[in-house]
Amino acid sequence: MSGESDKTLDCKGLSCPEPVLKTKMAMNDMQPGQVLEMVATDPGSANDIPAWARRTGNQIVESKEEGGVWTFRIKKS
């Protein structure tokens, strides 16, 4: 990932719904404008994390998939 992140969250190996729940919990402790970098191996996360971000008004600034690992950088609104 190219940009800076304020916090990282490893959800590798976790299944639905934990990546979304842990992302939410991690974002709770952050300030608006800060960026969380989360990684997941659950293929559902590819759609779930963007859906969660849309619904909660947070912004995905970068996302990628590499060898079954999804990485999202999410900016807190």
Partner 1 sequence: MAEEKNKRLVMIASKGSMDMAYIPLIVGSTAAAMEMEVAIFFTFYGLDIINKNKYKSLGVAPLANPASPMPVPNIIGVLPGMTMMATTMMKSWMGKQNVATIPEMLKMCQDVGVRMIGCQMTMDVMGVKKEDLIDGVEIGGAATMLDFAADSDISFHI
**74 phi/psi in degrees, rounded to 5:** -120, 125
By CB under 8 A, is residue 14 in contact with partner 1? yes
For the CA atoms of 4, 51, 30, 22, the dihedral, rounded to the nearest 10 degrees, stands at -100
Element (H, E) at 4: none
State yes or no: is 16 an active-site residue.
yes
* Residue 25 lies near partner 1 (rule: CB under 8 A): yes
Please check whether residue 20 is in contact with residue 46, taking contact to mean a CB–CB distance below 8 angstroms: no
x/- letters, 35..64, toward partner 1 (CB under 8 A): ----------------xx--xxx-------
Active-site annotation, residues = 16
User: Which residues of this protein are in contact with partner 1, per CB under 8 A?
Assistant: 13-18, 20-21, 23-25, 51-52, 55-57
